[in-house]
Amino acid sequence: MEDMEEVAENLTEKQQDDKSGMYMRVHFSFINGPLSEMKPNTLATTLALGRFIDKNGECFPTYKQLGEVLGISRDAVKKRIEEVKKYRYNGESIVEVINRNVEGGRNTSNLYRLNRKYISIFSDG
């Protein structure tokens, strides 16, 4: 049986492959609000997560995949995810981080839910 992280990575790659003609929308409410207050690393990590989101604003990239996008180590990704998780704008989270487990209690990639008020995707068609 494939390792669960490998399964999640393969699913995320498929999710990424299916995005031709898709664009990430950063709303003006984000530019005029959280963007002005976010630390650069928090912003970069949030936008990296946006690369993987579906139409519901959810994604589940692995730390390895995020590290490749950001050009940082897995450990550095974990620290940045903690920063993103804690960040609030007017008391509202920009990214909700949900820890997921598989049978036997092992962890798999997190589920990330981006606040669609600020970041979403759309199609050119």
Per residue of the chain (125 residues), give pLDDT as tens.
Answer: 344 445 444 444 444 445 567 788 899 988 888 888 999 999 999 999 999 999 999 999 999 999 999 999 999 999 999 999 999 999 999 999 999 877 777 778 899 999 999 999 887 76
Residue 21 forms part of a structural domain? no
Domain count, the chain: 1
Residue 31 forms part of a structural domain? no
Residue 84 forms part of a structural domain? yes
Task: Please answer whether residues 58 and 113 qualify as being in contact, where contact means their C-beta atoms are separated by less than 8 angstroms.
Answer: yes
pLDDT of residue 113: 97
Alpha-helical (H) ranges within 18-101 are 28-31, 34-37, 40-50, 63-70, 74-86
Range of the domain at 42: 4-15+36-119
Backbone angles phi, psi at 107, to 5 degrees: -80, 150
Q: How far apart are CA 23 and CA 21, in angstroms?
A: 7
Task: Please answer whether residues 105 and 85 qualify as being in contact, where contact means their C-beta atoms are separated by less than 8 angstroms.
Answer: no
Residue 55 forms part of a structural domain? yes
Residue 124 forms part of a structural domain? no
The domain spanning residue 68 has which CATH number?
Answer: 1.10.10.10
Residue 105 forms part of a structural domain? yes
Residue 69 forms part of a structural domain? yes
Residue 100 forms part of a structural domain? yes
Backbone angles phi, psi at 43, to 5 degrees: -65, -50
Q: How far apart are CA 97 and CA 106, in angstroms?
A: 17
